[in-house]
A and B are shown apart, each in its own frame.
Chain A
Amino acid sequence: MNAVVLIDTLLLILVTITAVAIIEVRNLYASVMLTSVYSLLMALVWVNMHSMDVAFTEAAVGGGISTILLIGTLVHTAREERPIKARVHWKALLVTAVTGAALIYGTFDMPRFGDPHAPIHHFRVPEMMAQTVGFANGTKGKQAPPEGFDAREYRSFNGRVADIPDDPTDTAWRETSVLAQDGIIVPKVIGHAAHAPVHDDAGHHPHPADDFNGHVPNSVTSLLAAYRGYDTMFETTVIFTAGISLIMLLRRPRRQGEAQVGAPMVDQAVLRVVTKMSVPFILLFGLYVITHGELGPGGGFQGGVVIACGFILYALIFGRAALYRVLPPPVIDVLTGLGVLLYSGTGAACLLLGGQFLDYSMLNRLSPGDGESLGMTLVEYGVGITVSMVMLNIFNQLAEEQPT
């Protein structure tokens, strides 16, 4: 049993206990606080499974924004759950037990946790990696697979790789494995198309061998923006739509004098000074997370949430009137749409420059890799702007409600 499995086992036991407590505790405020604890535990689970970007998002979204939104709602609704007669709902228990048993029966056919033979580590991985790492710097959207790559043989792959020995300490197989061709564990790609200029005609410069070829080292970001570019664009639109729905559900015409909102914590000297000192750094960190997203864990979603948290902290201490002086509600509304526009505009720019929609290599024909970097950064900023402004808008709408 290795360390990953051991830590995983312990963390998941804690997570399950917390989940039961969230459902069973009657005080809603306690339930919300436990949700925050649950999210932080989940972030630890994700880190343990090497999923840094997801951990980052979970900590920022689950531990931060969700808790703020839930508490904001509790203020307007109720702090306590109404007592119900029966503590255990037997019908629900029966339904969940049967469903759970069926699902657990299904897990017996799943590959072992961490099994390198699992189909997920092989199916469509070459195509994915071709876009992530770039087997070739084609100037048109479609990128060539590596030499000797047989698509037909690959598609008929049955999910088992014969050459992995059972002894985990034996690592020599990695040099020759078909997994190497799949791009998961390629030990050497020098001399591969990625390092050589594909086109000999003027204007195509070979990249220095010691950079990333202009390609994006954080594969999560490059998959997000390139391989699944359409998906991410419409996820951003989903968030945008949520922001619009919130405005339609909660915003009411503001009457004269109603906008004067108190800042109950502004006379707390320590809070005021600490907030004033930390807000610029929170915002700077948010921008760093968005910009750095292609080099390491981070990106538009995480950075956007961090930026929103900075503004929300400011509003909590100095009052929403102070926030509205910095960011008036109309500006927030316009920025919300501008992020989606920046994303789709980048895609349209690639289209107008002669490539396919969201083919970022079009943005810099001399160095397609740099063009991809640029395109992904623009797209991440689009996501970041929309996410931060929608979160801020949601917070403002909840806070503007009259307390009951």
Chain B
Amino acid sequence: MTHVLGIYNYWIYVLLMMIGLYGVIAKPNLIKQAIALGLFQTGIFLYYISMAVIDDGTAPVWFVDPQDPGQKFMGPYDNPLPHVLILTAIVVSVSVLAVALALIINIRRAYGTIEADQIEVMDQQDRLAEFRAGATLDAADAAELAGVGGHHD
């Protein structure tokens, strides 16, 4: 039981990451994918912060006792380094989200939808039309053409 509780946090980090990964793979909606990517990141944050914890530790803000100035530390303190890493990572994750959302808005402008599977079908139709209009056919086009044949025509 003690052993399980000892590594329980790491299991939750795996669980959160995998929920995020499942969302990115399984959900065709682009906004859902952006949110799922965020969940994946929080899993990693949990992993780092869990490692920083020390038994009977406290927040790493040095405390000075006014009665005894030499008493600079009242330890033990949690390791502050993972906190620093994750602090900046959270702000970077919101930047990633913002750029992703801007791209999604642009995709919506161009395609009128934000579902990845519909966008793929539209892309294939476009290329098919280009080919019919006389564009040259390369190997990648030929491979896709074989797949598209059954879809429409």
Chain A residues within 8 Å of B, Cβ to Cβ: 1, 4-5, 8-9, 12, 15-16, 19-20, 22-23, 28, 31-32, 35, 38, 42, 45-46, 49-54, 57-58, 61-62, 65-66, 69-70, 72-74, 76-78, 81-82, 84, 88-89, 91-93, 95-97, 99-100, 103-104, 107-108, 110, 112-116, 118, 120-121, 125, 128, 132-133, 168, 174, 179, 183-191, 194-195, 209-210, 212, 217-220, 223-224, 227-228, 231-232, 235, 238-239, 241-242, 245-246, 249-250, 295-297, 299, 301, 305, 387, 390-391, 394, 397-398, 401, 404
In the complex, residue of chain A having the shortest beta-carbon distance to the beta carbon of B3: A112
In the complex, residue of chain A having the shortest beta-carbon distance to the beta carbon of B71: A188
A84 touches B28 (CB 8 A): yes
Give chain A's interface secondary structure class. Answer: helix
State whether the Cβ of B56 lies closer than 8 Å to any Cβ in chain A.
yes
Interchain CA distance A251-B86 in the complex, whole Å: 31
A77 touches B104 (CB 8 A): yes
Q: Which residues of A contact B94 (CB under 8 A)?
A: 61-62, 65-66, 69, 391
Q: Pick 26 A–B contacts, CB within 8 A, sort by A.
A: A1-B5, A19-B16, A28-B32, A42-B42, A49-B53, A49-B78, A51-B86, A54-B45, A54-B83, A61-B93, A66-B94, A69-B98, A73-B104, A77-B31, A78-B108, A82-B113, A92-B26, A104-B11, A112-B2, A114-B54, A114-B55, A210-B64, A218-B61, A220-B61, A231-B88, A398-B102
In the complex, residue of chain B having the shortest beta-carbon distance to the beta carbon of A58: B90
Residue among B25, B27, B35, B115 with most chain A CB within 10 A: B35
Q: Which residues of B contact A223 (CB under 8 A)?
A: 80-81, 84
- Nearest CB of chain B from residue A246's CB, rounded to whole Å: 5
A53-B83, A187-B75, A219-B62 are known contacts. Are A96 and B21 too (CB-CB below 8 A)?
A: yes
State whether the Cβ of B142 lies closer than 8 Å to any Cβ in chain A.
no
Q: Which residues of B contact A183 (CB under 8 A)?
A: 73
B79 touches A73 (CB 8 A): no
Interchain CA distance A181-B23 in the complex, whole Å: 46
Q: Which residues of A contact B64 (CB under 8 A)?
A: 210, 212, 217
- Give the number of chain B interface residues (Cβ < 8 Å): 92
Cβ 8 A contact of A220, one of B17, B84, B95 = B84
Per-residue 0/1 for B64-75: is the Cβ within 8 Å of any A Cβ (1 yes, 0 no)? Answer: 101001111101
- Nearest CB of chain B from residue A182's CB, rounded to whole Å: 10
Q: Which residues of A contact B27 (CB under 8 A)?
A: 23, 81
